[in-house]
Structure 1
Amino acid sequence: MRLEVDLHPINANQLELEKTEKKKGSLLNWLGFLFILAIIFFTTHYAIGITVISGQSMAPTLNDKNITLSNQLLYTIERNDIVIFQDKNGFDVIKRVIALPNETIEIKDGLVFVNGQPIEEEYIVGTANDMEKQLVAEGSYFVMGDNREPGESLDSRSSDIGTIPEGKIKGKMLFSFGM
């Protein structure tokens, strides 16, 4: 049996260098992990909103317990967009944008008129009560639920909600899925 012995002297500097390299690698791994965690936190808290629907005010488009994802960072609001906003009590509410700033809106015989022209709404259920013509203020939006049956949607038609200032809108719905 033959025993081999490494006769090279142990270099203390080399050992110290290897330890330092291991520490750097470990620190970089932790920093990378924390960076990824920060990106996930930022995305889920500020860029993407998750809302669970409660109620039938947006039926048939969205139903009770549907989950929606919304863009909360960069978006422009257009007619027919579904938006999430905070009501006066701090609850998230989801409705459809019907009229934009400086437009007039009125409901006659269940039809919605924007700037005197009826709008096509294939997504609604029910017939809305009539509403006098009103002007949507600069920087605000008129929103309604898709369920137009009287009493089913608390929206801009109610003085309790009114038009929604742009600053209260938290995001624009990207998509939804049912539970």
Structure 2
Amino acid sequence: MKADINKEIFSLVKSIFFSLAIVAICRYFIFSPSTVHGESMSPTLKDHEKIIISKVSKLEHFDVIVFHAPDSDANYVKRIIGLPGDRIEVKDDILYINGKPYKEPYLKPNRKNLFPGIKLTGDFTLKEITGKSKVPKGYLFVMGDNRLVSKDSRHFKFIPIQSVIGEVKFRYYPLKEMGIPE
């Protein structure tokens, strides 16, 4: 009887150990929870919202990512605007990547709140901001959706791709906002 109990306890401990190991491996290498701090991605993501990030995503234009901030010990959440080799320009509130204009539907709510004649994103070229005409290899150019308050690549220039923790895939808090952010 005692041997059966010991066998059951050992089996339970072994199951718990393997379960914790799998959770740790998944969290470290595949996905991780995070919290949004600040209003730079509003209305897409708001302050104190809880998100899940994928650490295995291929990074593409307009992905929302979490990365180690280049100017503090915090993590920032921003949108990828420029990939390596891209030329970036904003003129008359229109984003141009490699000379092609792009619509940014995620900016529409913020544009509605502007006074007439005010631009959400000031005019700039990549060269004016960073001194480079293209995004260098191994780097990204990122901006927040709330362009009037976002501290992003317009302030701290490029971010190293190695500083990216992952791509935002899911918002799980608040519950009424649960889902995939756009």
Q: TM-score, normalised by structure 1?
A: 0.80
Residue 138 of structure 1 deviates from its aligned partner by: 0.8
Question: Which residue in the other structure is 1:143 paired with?
Answer: 142
CA deviations on 1:97-134 (whole Å, 9 max, x unpaired) are 11111010011122211101111100012411111243
Measured in 2, the distance between the counterparts of 1:168 and 1:104 equals 21
Name structure 2 gaps, 5 residues minimum: 112-119, 127-132, 175-182
Question: Which residue in the other structure is 2:24 paired with?
Answer: 41
Question: Which residue in the other structure is 1:58 paired with?
Answer: 41
Residue 63 of structure 1 deviates from its aligned partner by: 1.2
Matched, 1:23 2:43: no
| Amino-acid identity (%) | 31
Name structure 1 gaps, 5 residues minimum: 1-17
How many residues in Structure 1 have an aligned counterpart in Structure 2? 157
Question: Which residue in the other structure is 2:177 paired with?
Answer: none
Question: Which residue in the other structure is 1:172 paired with?
Answer: 167
Measured in 2, the distance between the counterparts of 1:55 and 1:19 equals 57
- Match for residue 130 of structure 1 among 123, 126, 134: 123
Measured in 2, the distance between the counterparts of 1:22 and 1:178 equals 42
Residue 137 of structure 1 deviates from its aligned partner by: 0.5
Residue 60 of structure 1 deviates from its aligned partner by: 1.4
Runs of 4+ in structure 1 over 3 Å off: 18-22
Q: TM-score, normalised by structure 2?
A: 0.79
Q: Larger % of helix: which?
A: 2
Q: CA RMSD in A?
A: 1.7
Matched, 1:32 2:15: yes
CA deviations on 1:51-106 (whole Å, 9 max, x unpaired) are 2212211011111221111012x210011110000013221100001111101001
